[in-house]
Amino acid sequence: MWSLQNLLFIICRVIHVTGYVGREVNVSCSYDEGYESYEKYLCNNDCGDSDLLITTSHSSKNKYRIHDDKTSRIFTTTISDLHSVDAGKYWCGVTIFGIDIYTEVELKLVPDSCCDTVTKVQSYEGYSESVSCPYESQYHNSLKYICRGNRPSTCLQQALITSDTKQNGRFRLDDDKMSGTFTVTINSLTQNDSGSYLCGVQRNSDVDVFSAVELEVEEWCCVKSTTINGTAGYPLTLQCPYPRQYRHNSKFLCKGDHRNNCTKMAVSQRRFTLQDNATSSSFMMKITALEADDAGTYWCGTDSQWGVGNYTKIELSVFLQHTRKIPDAALYVVYTVPPVLLLMCLLVTVYKNRCSRVNEADDTMSRNTPKEKNIEEVMGAAESGVRKLKCKALSEFYA
């Protein structure tokens, strides 16, 4: 190996390579026929012995790997975990007798992100949306593709669709070379489709060209959503607001679990009457007598194209009317008496009977007792009087 400082002149060509910071890059160098069995290497700076990074004799070293494709006569060095210090000048070398063959390589590093300008696209669930990706005229015949995220380094490997396939599931790619724009259409959108996308144009000699798109998929929605309860046999009014610009459009009410299978309710039916109030930007649908089958999901609006935000979703529940029979005057209701109350009533009755017998006995004693009875009998009569008073008080309390 010769040091470049000792060479008087070198005939070589320059290869420009661009890599992404934090990723890896391939440096590919071709050689002439007849040098298939010779050693190849990659070096930097002056390409002295201390500047040698990797050789085909030792195909892996630190962050470098080298592979020699002798059929195509191209050897490729992969540099991993790129940092800003890795940018600069390198040399692809072929060891021969005398002065080695060199090819100059200029490595440029760029951030693995994109882009300064982002195109915002908004759509809704169930809709189809097209994303337009412009490109310059020199890339008419280049490969076009789109991927999710904002990392250019892995975009092509993770492409959702390319111009080679044109159709892949819900994705379709159309390339209008006259206008210099390729369009990616996404069908049957869901909220999971929201996020960042990159439109890419492949360039073989440099990093691909990208443009960024931010897609927001919103839930299909109405002016408002409401829940209403009604009773079978009774009237009900459904109120439907609408955007003021649609006040001259025809109004309608339809029934169905989803707007795609919604059956319009015929206003000509006797039970349904529509009344518009342009001043309040709303119309009312009156139902004269609800039926059990009227329960369900309704959609009312003014835009036959089902524009987002122009409808009211109504969840209607219908309850059956239950009649209550009033008992005749001759009928009576038996109430269940709690056991405690029944016991108290029984005690009061027993006590009343006892008091009654006490009163009668005392009265009899009073009549039959002679006046000359001693003081004990007088005291007994007094006690009898006290018992009478207690019984009277209890009787009046429980009466």
Whether the predicted pLDDT of 59 surpasses 70: yes
- pLDDT over 70 for what percent of the chain? 74
How many Cβ atoms sit within 10 Å of the Cβ of residue 53?
18
Q: What is this structure's pTM?
A: 0.56
**Terminal CA-CA length for the chain:** 129
Instruction: Name the pLDDT band for 282 (thresholds 50, 70, 90).
Output: confident
pLDDT given for residue 250 in this prediction: 83
As to burial, measured by CB atoms within 10 angstroms (0-12 exposed, 13-18 middle, 19+ buried), residue 41 is buried
Is the bond preceding residue 29 a cis peptide, omega within 30 degrees?
A: no
Give the pLDDT confidence of 370-384 residue by residue, as tens digits.
Answer: 444 444 454 455 455
Query: Could you report the per-residue pLDDT of 101-122, keeping only the tens digit for each?
Result: 999 999 999 999 999 899 999 9
Q: Are strands 118-124 and 209-218 parallel, antiparallel or unpaired?
A: parallel
Do domains 118-218 and 224-319 share one topology? The answer is: yes
Average of per-residue pLDDT values in the chain: 81
In this structure, are residues 109 and 55 in contact, taking their beta carbons and an 8 Å threshold? no
Q: Which string of DSSP letters, residue by residue, matches 170-233?
A: TEEEEEETTTTEEEEEE-S--GGG-EEEEEEE--SSSPPEEEEEEEEEEPP--SEEEEEEEETT
Question: Is the CATH number 2.60.40.10 carried by domain 118-218?
Answer: yes
How many DSSP H helices and E strands does the chain contain? 2, 26
Under CATH, which number does the domain 224-319 receive?
Answer: 2.60.40.10
User: What is the residue whose two structure tokens read 């892995």?
Assistant: 154
72 contact partners, CB below 8 Å, separation of at least 6: 30
The sign one gets for the Cα dihedral 51, 56, 60, 66 is: positive
Q: What is the pLDDT of residue 126?
A: 81
Nearest CA among 393, 333, 339, 388 for reference residue 360: 388
Please compute the mean of the pLDDT values over residues 84-99 and round it to a whole number.
94
Asked whether 238 and 253 are in contact (CB, 8 A), the reply is yes
Please determine, looking at this structure, whether the domain spanning 4-110 carries the CATH number 1.10.1060.10.
Answer: no
**What residues does each domain of the chain span?**
4-110, 118-218, 224-319, 339-366+381-398
